[in-house]
Amino acid sequence: MAEATARLRLEGIQKSFPGIKALDDVSFSVMPGEVHGLLGENGAGKSTMLNILSAVFAANAGRILIDGTPVNLTDPKSARAAGIAMIHQELQLIPALTVAQNIFLGRPLSKAGGLLVDRRAQEARARAILADLDPAIEPSRPVSELKVAQQQIVEIARALLDDARIIAMDEPTSSLTPPEFDNLAALIEKLAGQGKSIIYVSHKMNEVFRVCDRATVLRDGRFVTTVTIAETSEAEIIARMVGRDVQTEGHVSHATDEVALSVSDLGDGRLISGAGFTLHKGEVLGVAGLVGSGRTEMLRLVAGIDRASTGTIVKDGRTCHFRSPRDAIHAGIGLVPEERKKDGIVRDRSVASNIALPCMETFSSFGLIRRKALRKEATALMEQMHLRPPDVDRAIGLFSGGNQQKAIIGRWLAADVDILLFDEPTRGIDIGAKSEIYELIETLAAAGKAIVVVSSEMTEILRVSDRVVVMREGRIAATLSGDEITEGRIAAHAIPQSKARAPQEPPQPQEAHHD
């Protein structure tokens, strides 16, 4: 690809914030009709680069060229005028407004000399744009009534309204199911076929290899390499991202015959009905299923967050009745929640304080916290888990998702629980941290902990599990072990029978943000 024909060329981009150099002399190009991955761990500089490209803030040095011509991007409006559009991970839509109103937000079509908004004209124009993306989306419908995948299409429609030639997508599939990703991939291919240049940011290597032509890797704010996807491997890219070889597979079972937890006929009077499973010491039990199958709801019952209406939970031979999470914690059960930032941490408190939350009495005397003892325990745990930066006094909200997850796991080690329930343990975590979480799960299992892992990522379920229970419509549809644990078998059991496809082509379980 000749550099002279690049749709977008970034040259020597530098950006510093107080105490940190976020980007250090980064250069790469994106061609017309190309889908170009921008890859790297959290903190590698991807978001900073996108913010510079969309003119949220300015680079300290370097220049941006579009179709060979240098451009001066002073604010987001100037970036849009230059043909650059951003599709954010957190969608920038107003739920109460209609689809058309969102598409024309900030630049409405007017009538009566500019005094009134011409809603009919807006809806007609929106319908024409959506006809090429998803004609099922009605322009007069409130955005709040749309699925996340449809909301994303509204964002893309807004970009096309500006006739964007460069579309940057930041983690666009974090809340999409696999079928919805298939639709998005087809749309990306269509846009690229129209000559649009797509910058695609994702931690999911299967997506990168599905949609991208080339990819640029950043590490610690520096350019590492640009590769042609068809000529490289996932392992090579990951090694470039993290600066070392990362183990991506190779689960070793530590399961014993000793039963740690037995759940039978569990129900919540709503979705969960007759659910049951057995968990052994040293075992990692995967839980798979579709959106709405009840995976998270079942874990919440076992963790005492929600009250079970039926069923029995037996731990170490003793029947338990959980009226609150505290009861489950006292029984030795800890939950690592799906919504890490919402349910797992107190953002403004230190790592040490977050670790102590379920076992504060361990670190207090006469109602006063023994801060020295707490800090010593937290430091030892976080050294064991390679917290970065290694500062347990720092507010946990300032750490990356992977390091926050390490602190939550450390919390349950400090509380000395022997059963750990992981709900989407690596959602929103980069490749390097994900590998560390997998290794930590293996280490905990080897130490005799009994572990349940709920995950929407099929590769994750296959990577960590000794056995897999598949949920369907609030019940356990199957329990798989050994050679039975395959993507096809899991998918075949996960889909409701009335919706099942032909056996030779089983549908894929969906990824979920929530169950």
Q: Which residue has the tokens 């991208």?
A: 212
Mean pLDDT by 10 residues, the chain (515 residues): 75 91 95 96 87 94 96 93 88 91 90 84 93 91 90 89 90 78 90 95 90 96 96 90 66 94 96 96 95 92 96 96 95 94 93 92 81 91 89 92 92 95 89 87 96 92 96 96 92 73 42 40
Instruction: Spell out the residues 6+ positions from residue 432 whose beta carbon is closer than 8 angstroms to its own.
Output: 41, 241, 242, 246, 402
Contact in structure between 419 and 334 (CB atoms under 8 Å): yes
Contact in structure between 93 and 33 (CB atoms under 8 Å): no
pTM: 0.69
User: To which H or E segment does residue 464 belong?
Assistant: helix 458-464
Q: Report the relative pairing of strands 467-472 and 475-481 from DSSP bridges.
A: antiparallel
Contact in structure between 451 and 445 (CB atoms under 8 Å): yes
Q: What is the pLDDT of residue 223?
A: 97
C-alpha 152/C-alpha 26 separation (Å) is: 29
* Residue 135 preceded by cis peptide, ω within 30: no
Retrieve residue 289's tokens.
């299923």
Among 52, 9, 8, residue whose Cα is nearest residue 33: 8
Q: What is the pLDDT of residue 327?
A: 96
Q: Which residue has the tokens 């739920």?
A: 95
CA of residue 259 relative to chain centroid, distance = 32
C-alpha 474/C-alpha 290 separation (Å) is: 10
Retrieve residue 405's tokens.
């997850």
Retrieve residue 196's tokens.
């649009």
Q: Which domains, from first to last, does the chain contain?
A: 8-242 (3.40.50.300), 259-494 (3.40.50.300)
Dihedral angle of Cα 267, 271, 275, 278, to the nearest 10 degrees: -100
C-alpha 215/C-alpha 200 separation (Å) is: 9
Size (the chain), residues = 515
Q: Please spell the DSSP secondary structure of 256-294, one letter per residue.
A: -SSEEEEEEEEE-SSS--SEEEEEETT-EEEEEE-TTSS
Instruction: Spell out the residues 6+ positions from residue 125 whose beta carbon is closer than 8 angstroms to its own.
Output: 100, 104, 109, 161
Name the CA radius of gyration of the chain, rounded: 25
Among 159, 151, 114, residue whose Cα is nearest residue 134: 151
Angstrom distances, CA of residue 89 to CA of 129, 166, 212, 404: 22, 17, 18, 19
List of E strands, 377-423: 419-423
User: To which H or E segment does residue 185 belong?
Assistant: helix 178-193
Looking at the DSSP bridge assignments, the partners of residue 334 are 420
C-alpha 100/C-alpha 495 separation (Å) is: 35
Give backbone dihedrals phi and psi of 6, rounded to 5 degrees, phi first.
-60, 135
Contact in structure between 404 and 344 (CB atoms under 8 Å): yes
Q: What is the pLDDT of residue 504?
A: 42
C-alpha 339/C-alpha 42 separation (Å) is: 18
Q: What is the pLDDT of residue 249?
A: 55
